[in-house]
Structure 1
């Protein structure tokens, strides 16, 4: 399986209609939409084409920050909060950890059009708003639910919310999203493992890996991130 190339930061091409440059001391509001674009055939399993499964996503924990990614660092042990997201799709411990570590943070857990929190199923989306100033970045974590401890985020230090010209970014940011392994639980065949969220008898069920956060490289085949998740960033006019 190809390794995913990790960049130190992510940049978006500005749309032609993007707002003007934002002064360094003035905040800009953004709407972020995270959509599950998987289908019932997105993830192939050993049972053949008829046994393919969709890939639900967990509630999104997000953070706006100006320094390094406050959610994870390559080569270091995952926090208890990140472990909760990556293994069981549970957002609240990580949300608590981010208080004081990020300029702002939050959880998106209610799909658009729904009245209660729930997982993000194919075709559904979470939306949230945030405020940022030039120099700020966006990072997030959402579980690849057909796994033991995998999650999506922007690569490296996160998505630059402003371009080099000071203008807020606008558009599809999915190209910067990568699939990461929290290194907390031994991986099984995606979509069929008995210790994975859809099939395990209880949370925190599988054998511990005692590893570190890394790009997925376990010999299994995973769909491209863009086949599962789409992230769109829209600045308020």
Structure 2
């Protein structure tokens, strides 16, 4: 090879971090916390449905005009969507790659697997798949209105009622909410361990906080379809 033709380059710091298991776990933790903050805000917004159509539709309109007049209509909302999409992709890819590494490192299954892991831990992977599929459904249902047969563009309150006026809309949403609860319960505690917040003395408190947070989000999100099904919201 002639002098000056070497193309070997040292990998960048970002690449080194991404290639390491610790780096991927950190990416999972940070992206998971970003999505968790969004979920809390999203749940609080959903609960406005209990204050009537005007309140809920007004909130939906405010989301689209956020940042005006500095930003154009829906620019802020699309910024949030793009950021969330990046968080979801990073979370899913790092989770998948860590899973593959774990399988390669431990090709044989544990004999006492049930004693080593909780129910939430064993269902994290399937829970992630369920949530991924639900995100696609949720966007097609209440954002693009593609699968919502009785949808009315510009009427978010009525569209929510249309979704939860069907048995399959309720079933899909409630299954996803339960999967979310289990995912958050384990994920919140795991993220705290990865980011160095956890310790032997804080372990019980962190697990209690994770359980409380998961329960609050599960009940908060599930309350909307239940309210529509029972006629409380109509």
TM over 0.5: no
Structure ID, larger Rg:
2
Answer 1 or 2: higher relative contact order, Cα 8 Å, separation at least 6.
Answer: 1
Q: What TM-score, normalized by structure 2, do the two folds share?
A: 0.23
From the two aligned structures, give the one with the greater strand fraction.
1
From the two aligned structures, give the one with the greater helix fraction.
2
